[in-house]
Amino acid sequence: MYKGDNYKKKVREISNAWNQTHNIKRFAANPMTTPEYD
């Protein structure tokens, strides 16, 4: 069980981890992608 700041921290950690995984997959699927075309 998470409450208050602990809950928010856990949600943020999960969100960050998911975003990192998503970005890695997107990059792997588009190896030619550059920051200019983000």
SS3 of 1-38: the string is CCCHHHHHHHHHHHHHHHHHHHHHHHHHHCCCCCHHHC
Mean pLDDT, to the nearest integer, of 27-37?
A: 63
pLDDT at residue 33, as a whole number = 59
Between 12 and 2, the more confident residue is 12
pLDDT at residue 22, as a whole number = 78
Residue 3 in tokens: 């409450």
pLDDT at residue 13, as a whole number = 93
pLDDT of 6 > 70? The answer is: yes
Indicate whether this model's pTM tops 0.75.
no
pLDDT at residue 9, as a whole number = 92
